[in-house]
Amino acid sequence: MRLERRAQVPLRLVVVAPLAAVAVALLLAGGLIAAAGVSPLTAYVEMVVGALGSRLSITEMLTRATPLILTGLAAAVAFRARLWNIGAEGQFFVGALVTAWIGHSLSLPGPLGIPVLMVAGMASGALLLAGPAYLRLRFSVDEVVTTLLLNFIVILFVGMMIEGPLRDPLAFGWPSSVPVDGAFRLPDLVPRTRLHIGFLFALAAAAVVWVILARTVFGAETRAAGLNARAATFAGISLPRTLMGVAMLSGALAGLAGSVEVLGVTAGVTTTMSPGFGYAGIVVAMLAALHPAGVVAAALFVATVFVGADAMSRATGVPSFIADVIVALCLLTMLVALMFTTYRVRR
Amino acid sequence: MIDALELLLNTSLWAAVLRIATPLIFGVLGALLCERSGVLNLGIEGIMTMGAMTGWLTVYMGADLWAGLLVAAISGGLMGLLHAMLTVPLGLSQHVSGLGITLFASALSYYLYRLIVVVGDLPPTIEPFGPLSIPILSELPVLGPILFSQTLPTYLALLSVAVMAYMLARTPLGLAIRMTGENPHAVEAQGLNPIRIRIGAVVAGSALMAVGGAFLTTAAFNSFFPEMVQGRGWICIALVVFASWRPGKALLGALLFAFFDAYQLRLQTVVEGVPYQLFLMAPYVLSIGALILVARRARVPDALMAPYRRGER
């Protein structure tokens, strides 16, 4: 068997491959659901109904998709340039921490304060990734390990702050930071649900990232750096500058995810506020084949699985860990599907 | 201050260092074997979780402890095979595939555990490996309780370091593995199959990682719970770089890391007024520091992360 790079990727494959990947993943996970003594078909129906069956469940799903879109964009932007940012989880938490911290003491009217807080969250996420990016460029320290280790450090730091200087005395011993000022809470998008206008910000971010990647010099340089670093340098692109720019953008997006989650949902920061948004963002980015528009679709899909699996688990008794299994299987099948879109198998 | 220094004289600290180092030794040897053949295996965190679960479950179902380690090794080898199939013949991104394996293996472990075991308020337990005092040697002052009163898997870990070092440096198989990591084309010119060598190395390395995970549930603790690997896999990836891809230095790195971990745990009890999270952070901060110190001198295997395709250069 031999693999041959396709000269041109047929559009048909670009559309069919991700759908086939998801179908295969659902089929494989179906086997595991059957092992629990539940019909996979019943389980999947429960899942879809649980995530999309009512006004409340749809808004819950969109609320869950909001940080996933942003962390998915963060991973997509970095992976395009072959900057392996596995630290979106840490950048998410640092964005959330800084937002909660400043948002508690800042006195500004809401419409002015909210942008200030979001910029602060973005800046802190970008700064957190700047360190590993600098280490990679200056000392060739692999960024996979440094960004990952920073996740643990940041979450411990958050724990330290919410048990110390940022402790909420009104939380009855529940470990949470002081909440942000009420004026800075993001308004609801749908009344009497948790869905807030942060969802629109996430969609806007996807559009902005799409324009940056597709229509600017920086976007072209990013692509070149990711495809072939040596050729890019030869063509006169400054690899350090491009990678630093990518790191700033990626870290800022993940930091914004944390900021928006605090302003829109949790008000304060806790060490348990993310069920792995940073890691799930990597799956979202891969399912989207690193494309910003695809990120939105993939985030909605992953959010549907997560929200739906909880409901399905309650209804059928299948352990809710099945959601993570489905999402991980999607990542693996999507990897294979992507290979078949770029390579042709020859005997 | 005096108390903090006094802790260093405590033999139980040094015995704990060896105990805490054991899963890291298995993990770092496994990761090292994969990387020496040219494949980065970021699946390690998930593979260790898988080993911890399957090893524990086997014993829980009534088999003996060694059967538990064996089943853990097999389950880890299977996960390694999946990673190897995706990254070696198919040549997919080793970074992304490895992360996928970690997510998949951990999720599958938690799912199967919940499916098979009925968990009440407390997780069910097994009878773990007990410390085995080697006659005479264990009665030596100081060294006895530290070195010769460990559990059997700890001795197995130390033995593995010697076997791995000998295998890589002195045997034709070791030479073939090292060459595959440096220049797979040269390996093929010798009439060997670099693809098979890589798959074999990843499967064997992943089996070792899983045994490291199984140590947690069959010797260090007696139950399985989610998140119990706690980033040890990622630490192993850092330790491979720290060790410059050498088994002997890998042992040293694992011991050093375990020392900081054991020491911070005891320091918490004597140093007051410092948030305990700062102590917990220390090992991670030190790992990053060690990487910076070593990275520039490190001799990375030349073909690490470069997919090998026949006839393509």
**What digits encode the pLDDT tens for the residues B3-53?**
777 777 778 888 899 999 999 999 999 999 999 999 999 999 999 999 999
List the single residue in B with minimal CA-CA distance to A134: B292
- Residue A174 one-letter amino acid: W
Distances (CA, A) of A313 to A59, B105, B116: 19, 20, 15
- pLDDT digits over B51-83, tens only? 999 999 999 999 999 999 999 999 999 999 999
pLDDT of residue A309: 94
Q: Give the pLDDT confidence score for residue A169 in this predicted structure.
A: 83
Quote the tokens at residue B194: 């670099």
Burial of B255 (0-12, 13-18, 19+ CB in 10 A): middle
Cα separation, A131 vs A90, in Å, equals 13
ipTM of the complex model: 0.92
Distance from CA of A317 to the nearest CA of B (A): 9
**Looking at the partner chain, which of B97, B108, B296 has a beta carbon nearest the beta carbon of A140?**
B296
**Percent of chain B scoring above 90 in pLDDT:** 65
pLDDT (tens digit per residue) in B142-183: 777 777 778 899 999 999 999 999 999 999 999 999 999 999
User: pLDDT at position A13, please?
Assistant: 80
Q: Would you call A332 and B82 a contact, using CB atoms and an 8 Å cutoff? A: yes
- Write the Ramachandran bin of B245: left for phi over 0, alpha for psi from -120 to 50, otherwise beta: left
Q: How many alpha carbons fall within 13 Å on the CB side of residue A246?
A: 31
A284-312 burial code (b ≥16 CB/10 A, e <16): bbbbbbbbbebbbebbbbbbbbbbbbbbb
Of the options 1.20.140, 1.10.3470, 1.10.10, 2.20.28, the CATH number for the domain spanning B2-114+135-295: 1.10.3470
List the beta bridge partners of residue B193. none
Task: Answer whether residue A230 shows pLDDT above 70.
Answer: yes
Of the pLDDT bands very low, low, confident and very high (cuts 50, 70, 90), residue B130 is confident
At A108, the pLDDT band (50, 70, 90 cuts) reads confident
Q: Which residues of A touch B295 (CB under 8 A)?
A: 135, 139-142
Q: Does B145 or A18 have the greater pLDDT score?
A: A18
Residue B282 pLDDT greater than 60, yes or no: yes
Nearest CB to A153 within list B42, B97, B284: B284
Task: Dig out the tokens for A43 from the structure.
Answer: 């389980």
Chain B touched by A160 (CB under 8 Å): yes
* pLDDT the model gives residue B148: 74
Instruction: List, as ranges, residues 64-93 from A with C-beta within 8 Å of B.
Output: 79, 84, 86
The two tokens of residue B190 are 């010798």
Q: How far apart are CA A198 and CA A184, in angstroms?
A: 12
A152 touches B at CB < 8 Å: yes
Q: CB B86 to CB A35 under 8 A?
A: no
The 3-class SS string of chain A reads CEEEECCCCCHHHHHHHHHHHHHHHHHHHHHHHHHCCCCHHHHHHHHHHHHHCCHHHHHHHHHHHHHHHHHHHHHHHHHHCCCCCCCHHHHHHHHHHHHHHHHHHCCCCHHHHHHHHHHHHHHHHHHHHHHHHHHHHHHCCCHHHHHHHHHHHHHHHHHHHHHCCCECHHHCCCCCECCCCHHHCCCECCCCCCCECHHHHHHHHHHHHHHHHHHCHHHHHHHHHHHCHHHHHHCCCCHHHHHHHHHHHHHHHHHHHHHHHHHHHHCCCCCCCCCCHHHHHHHHHHHCCCCHHHHHHHHHHHHHHHHHHHHHHHHHCCCCCHHHHHHHHHHHHHHHHHHHHHEEEEC
Q: Cβ of B275 and A160 within 8 Å?
A: yes
Name the nearest CA neighbour of B213 among B198, B231, B237: B231
Cβ B99 vs Cβ A330: under 8 Å: no
Contact B103 A279 (CB under 8 A): yes
The Cα of B218 is separated from the nearest Cα of chain A by a number of Å equal to 23
* pLDDT at residue B1, rounded to an integer: 62
Q: Specify burial of residue B34 (Cβ count, 10 A radius: 0-12, 13-18, 19+).
A: buried
**Cα–Cα nearest to B263, from B2, B12, B87:** B12
Q: How confident is the model at residue B265 (pLDDT cuts 50, 70, 90)?
A: confident
Task: Give the gap in angstroms from C-alpha B275 to the nearest C-alpha of chain A.
Answer: 7
Measured between alpha carbons, how far is residue A168 from residues A66, A179, A258, A273 in Å?
A: 26, 8, 19, 15
Strand, helix or coil for residue B64 = coil
Instruction: Copy the structure tokens of residue B193.
Output: 């199959």
Half-sphere exposure of B299 (CA within 13 A, CB side): 6
- Model's pTM, two decimal places? 0.93
Average confidence (pLDDT) over A64-81? 97
Over residues A196-216, the pLDDT tens digits come to: 999 999 999 999 999 999 999
Residue type, B19: R
Write the residue in B92, B107, B284 that is nearest to A339 by C-beta: B92
| Nearest chain A residue to B98, by CA | A332
CB nearest to B97's CB, from A3, A79, A335: A335
Which position has the higher pLDDT, B310 or B207?
A: B207
Task: Tell me whether residues A1 and B309 touch, CB distance under 8 A.
Answer: no
Instruction: Return the pLDDT at A9.
Output: 74
For residue B117, the chain A residue with the least C-alpha distance is A319
Give me the residue from B86, B281, B285 closest to A335, CB to CB. Answer: B86
User: For residue B40, what pLDDT is reported?
Assistant: 96
Residue A150 touches chain B, beta carbons under 8 Å = yes
Residue A8 is predicted with a pLDDT of: 76
In this prediction, residue B143 carries a pLDDT of 73
| pLDDT tier at A288, thresholds 50, 70, 90 | very high
- Among the partner-chain residues A160, A283, A322, the one whose CB lies closest to the CB of B278 is A160
Interface contact A335-B92, CB threshold 8 A: yes
Mutation pick from A157, A332, A343 vs chain B, by most beta carbons of B within 10 Å, is A332
Estimate to the nearest angstrom the gap between the alpha carbon of A100 and the chain centroid. 20
Q: Which of A106, A152, A104 is nearest to A128 (CA)?
A: A152
Nearest to B244 by CA among B284, B169, B176, B301: B301
Cβ distance of B107 and A35 shorter than 8 Å = no
Give the residue extent of every domain in chain B: 2-114+135-295
Cβ–Cβ contact A145 with B under 8 A: yes
**What is the interface size between A and B, counted as CB pairs within 8 Å?**
128
| A282 vs B: CB within 8 A | yes
Instruction: Find the CB nearest B95 among A84, A139, A327.
Output: A84
User: How much is the pLDDT for A347?
Assistant: 64
Nearest to A29 by CA among B104, B204, B79: B104
The pLDDT score that the predictor gives to residue A318 is 95
Residue in B310, B117, B173 with CA at minimum distance from that of residue A2: B310
Of A32, A135, A149, the CB nearest to B287: A149
Cβ-in-10-Å burial (0-12, 13-18, 19+) of A111 comes to: exposed
CA angle B95, B280, B54 (to 5 degrees): 55
Report chain B residues whose CB lies below 8 A from the CB of A331: 96, 99-100, 103-104
Per-residue model confidence (pLDDT) at position B2: 65
Query: Residues B91-127: pLDDT tens digits?
Result: 899 999 999 999 999 999 999 999 999 877 788 999 9
Q: Is A102 on the interface with B (CB under 8 A)?
A: no
* Interface residue ranges in chain B relative to chain A, Cβ cutoff 8 Å: 42, 82, 86, 89-93, 95-97, 99-101, 103-104, 106-108, 110-111, 114-115, 231, 234-235, 237-238, 241, 275, 277-278, 280-281, 284-285, 287-288, 291-292, 295-296, 309-311
Of A2, A325, A332, the CB nearest to B111: A325
Distance CA B29, CA B167 (A): 12
Q: A218: distance to nearest CA of chain B, Å?
A: 24
